[in-house]
Amino acid sequence: MSTLADKLTALVAQAAEAAGYGDSPIPLEPCVPTNDPRHGDYQSNYAFRVGKAARTNPRAVAQAMVDALGDSELVASAEVAGPGFINFRIADAALAADLMERIGSATLGAPRIGEGKTMVIDYSSPNIAKRMHVGHLRSTIIGAAIDRIHRMLGYTVIADNHIGDWGTQFGMLIVAWHRWRDEAAFAEDSIAELQRLYRLFREEAKEDASLEDLARAETAKLQAGDADNLALWERFVKESLVEFEGVYERLGVSFDVVHGESYYRDGLQALVDRLLDQGIATMSEGAAVVEFSPEDGKGLGKSPLLVRKSDGAALYGTTDLATVEHRMATWNPETIVYVTDQRQQLHFRQVFAAAKKMGHTAPEYVHVWFGMVRNPDGSIMASRKDGSAITLVDLLDTARDEARKRVDDKSSHLPEEERAAIAEAVGVGAIVYNDLSQNPQSDVIFDWEKMLAMEGNTAPYLMYALARCHSLLRKAGDFEPGGLVLGHESERALALQISRTPEVVLQCAGTWKTNALADHLYGLAGALAAFWRDCPVLKDDVDPATRQSRLTLAHATAVAMSSGLELLGLTPLERM
């Protein structure tokens, strides 16, 4: 289903053709919402650009296009503005019809621009035998939101959790396991015991250097396929994945495949040998590197990618290139997306350039990078005062508990089980929304009071706005949407905001950023507040037709708000 902007853009193209400007070399750009609703709903700058290119008066071109529009069921008015812009106001009947068609669609009628296209997205990527911590938060929730948005637009999305499950740390764990393990502690909390063993190994190794030699030997045995070490490693992986899944379930995140570093281990040396044979990699001081020229990318000329160390060990870059090969051979995606923090920008520019040298030039490579999570005082939120890492489980539990205080205070009449579910949804939603409502490339400030506030651009505010819609619909009793008539400007403004939702989803997909959707939902909640203020629904003096129309608009708001919140990873609540 076309968006309102697409429909208007098509009208502009027809008007340009009719006005004699159909052969202009200027590409047609989509209509966009006006900055000031007093000037209309949408604006086109096409006439201005055509006029400038033709060295003629842009306002005259714009007027010619307006005159050529003729009668349109879509447009109530079209006016020339400024130096040659055209401002459009959508006809009320057309807007009502558009909204009704959208709320009958599971995707709000979002254009399926991804049909027939495959996208692989790599996000979260925690390390085995360690708890997920605050450092995994942004990759997980940003990646999941991008994942959902592209699925909504028709893409075949392969979500791949590239976990850290291979390397020298497992040799250390195996040595520590045999020397100091506590089976009872492992049975009670396996990850806590594995982390204790790892820390104990590092402490003991400071005093006994032979431990490092033992760890290297156990790592070598593991990589050679030793049955006992493989069995231990598999046990560590299994326990870790169980814990990860618990966190993902609370965040509403799921993956299509979980292919960690170990998945590619057997082919890494052969890959490096092939790169050397083909001249893509060269030897440098005993190590194998992929060198770049300025043509491979700005700033890469002095930054080779190390793919094999002088001791023969493969590295992250080697695994990442093997991963690209696997993904191209398995899914042949049009796009491969990596969601990591800002510190890995150079690494992925190197990987992308090396992959292209290997012949994988077809896909679009995207690195969605993000800033750090900070406390209100500006410090990086990474650890507690005692130096221990802040785990995601602790963070989610704290959010739930803080939300529970507010739920108990305001909704003590609700059953215990329902209050617990609301607190979980609001607490987790507050964390997720606080992140996704900001530009991902900016640092995120973690302030509990602001995140959980019932006013402002927060998850609780939006979730309450949705719950209020459901409350009204419950009071109304039996109801079927229909009969929508936009008789008041506040009704119209709300309907327009709802119908624009797919346009914002498209914008998020195009920019790889979700904050535009958060801003849109906040604007939708504001339009809803104006609707409540100006347009009574269930009062005795409201006639049946108006009551029906306004109930339909409340229902449509609930549909759009629920869809937007779910795309961001929040749980829509019917009451709070």
Give 257's strand partners: 160
Distance CA 44, CA 52 (A): 14
234-251 residue pLDDT tens? 999 999 999 999 999 999
Which pLDDT does position 144 carry in this prediction?
A: 98
Which pLDDT does position 313 carry in this prediction?
A: 84
Give 369's strand partners: 340
51-88 residue pLDDT tens? 999 899 999 999 999 999 988 999 999 999 999 999 99
Measured at the CA of 555, the angle between CA 550 and CA 557, to 5 degrees, comes to 95
Contact at 8 Å (CB) between 160 and 333?
Answer: no
150-205 residue pLDDT tens? 999 999 999 999 999 998 899 999 999 999 999 999 999 999 999 999 999 999 99
Contacts of 254 by beta carbon, 8 Å cutoff, 6+ apart: 159, 248
- Mean pLDDT in the chain? 94
pLDDT over threshold 60, residue 386? no
Contact at 8 Å (CB) between 303 and 292?
Answer: yes
| Burial class of residue 207 in the structure, from the number of CB atoms within 10 Å of its CB (0-12 exposed, 13-18 middle, 19+ buried) | exposed
Question: Strand locations in 359-488, DSSP E?
Answer: 364-370, 373-374, 444-445
Which pLDDT does position 422 carry in this prediction?
A: 97
Tokens 């156990």, located at residue: 218
Which pLDDT does position 479 carry in this prediction?
A: 92
Distance CA 136, CA 411 (A): 33
Confidence of residue 384 (pLDDT cuts 50, 70, 90): low
Neighbours of 52 (CB within 10 A): 16
197-217 residue pLDDT tens? 999 999 999 999 999 999 999
Which pLDDT does position 314 carry in this prediction?
A: 87
Distance CA 354, CA 388 (A): 37
Rg of the chain, C-alpha, whole Å: 28
Confidence of residue 388 (pLDDT cuts 50, 70, 90): low
Give kind and range of the element (H or E) at residue 549. Answer: helix 544-568
Contact at 8 Å (CB) between 190 and 177?
Answer: no
Contacts of 101 by beta carbon, 8 Å cutoff, 6+ apart: 1, 109
What is the three-class DSSP state of 80? strand
Which pLDDT does position 385 carry in this prediction?
A: 52
Which pLDDT does position 224 carry in this prediction?
A: 87
Q: Which amino acid is at 38?
A: R
Nearest in space to 125 (alpha carbons), one of 161, 89, 78: 161
247-256 residue pLDDT tens? 999 999 999 9
In the chain, what is the greatest distance between 2 CA atoms, to the nearest angstrom?
A: 87
Distance CA 170, CA 164 (A): 11
Distance CA 170, CA 109 (A): 49
508-543 residue pLDDT tens? 999 999 999 999 999 999 999 999 999 999 999 999
Two tokens, residue 480? 């079927």
457-500 residue pLDDT tens? 999 999 999 999 999 999 999 999 999 999 999 999 999 999 99
- Tell me the HSE value of 160 on the side-chain side, using a 13 A CA sphere: 24
310-344 residue pLDDT tens? 988 889 999 999 999 999 999 999 999 999 999 99
Of the listed ranges 221-225, 382-386, 412-416, the one predicted with least confidence: 382-386
What is the three-class DSSP state of 383? strand
The dihedral formed by the CA atoms of 143, 145, 147 and 150, expressed in degrees to the nearest 10? -140
Two tokens, residue 101? 């068609």
Distance CA 218, CA 176 (A): 11
pLDDT over threshold 80, residue 387? no
Contacts of 65 by beta carbon, 8 Å cutoff, 6+ apart: 12, 15, 16, 19, 21, 46, 47, 86
- Residue 376 vs residue 138, higher pLDDT: 138
Confidence of residue 377 (pLDDT cuts 50, 70, 90): confident
Q: What is the mean pLDDT of residues 395-406?
A: 94
Query: H/E/C letters for each residue in 390-457?
Result: CEHHHHHHHHHHHHHHHHHHHCCCCCHHHHHHHHHHHHHHHHHHHHHCCCCCCCEECCHHHHCCCCCC
Two tokens, residue 255? 């993956």
Which pLDDT does position 124 carry in this prediction?
A: 97
Sign of CA dihedral 150, 151, 155, 160: positive
- Tell me the HSE value of 34 on the side-chain side, using a 13 A CA sphere: 21
Nearest in space to 371 (alpha carbons), one of 348, 390, 343, 333: 343
**Antiparallel, parallel or unpaired: β 287-290 and 305-308:** antiparallel
pLDDT over threshold 70, residue 383? no
Give 284's strand partners: 287
pLDDT over threshold 70, residue 503? yes
Give kind and range of the element (H or E) at residue 287. Answer: strand 287-290
Contact at 8 Å (CB) between 325 and 271?
Answer: yes
428-438 residue pLDDT tens? 999 999 999 99
Q: What is the mean pLDDT of residues 357-369?
A: 96
